[in-house]
Amino acid sequence: MSAETVLIRVNGREVSVPLGQPLAQVLSAADPAMRLSPRDRAPRGMFCGMGLCFECMVEVDGLRRRSCLTPVSAGMVVRTREGAA
Ligand code: FES
């Protein structure tokens, strides 16, 4: 049995991902460094995985979101390396 997949756009590229999976999981599988620190431009990625640290902040449909708390939905447009903590 396989999970339903949907198409989302990540940094301009269309990808097929499991519906409802936490966005942070999907992004981390491709690149653990999902954003750059606004202070020193160091790569940052998921840390706590439960909404406390804000290290997984990305832009989803033009709004900053904690990707570990954001379930994948069809058609979402994601930009990594843009969300500041
Ligand atoms: S990984 Fe800590 S808030 Fe998302």
Task: Go through the domains of the chain in sequence order and give each one's CATH number.
Answer: 5-79 (3.10.20.30)
- In angstroms, the CA 32 to CA 26 distance is 10
Cβ of residue 53 lying under 6 Å from some atom of ligand 1: yes
Cβ of residue 59 lying under 6 Å from some atom of ligand 1: no
Q: What is the pLDDT of residues 12-58, one digit of tens each?
A: 999 999 999 999 999 998 888 888 887 888 888 899 999 999 999 99
Residue predicted with more confidence, 75 or 82 = 75
pLDDT at 78 over 60: yes
pTM score of the predicted model: 0.86
* Ligand 1 centroid – CA 81 distance (Å): 15
Asked whether the beta carbons of 70 and 22 are under 8 A apart, the reply is yes
Determine how many CB atoms are found less than 10 A away from the CB of residue 70. 20
Cβ of residue 71 lying under 6 Å from some atom of ligand 1: no
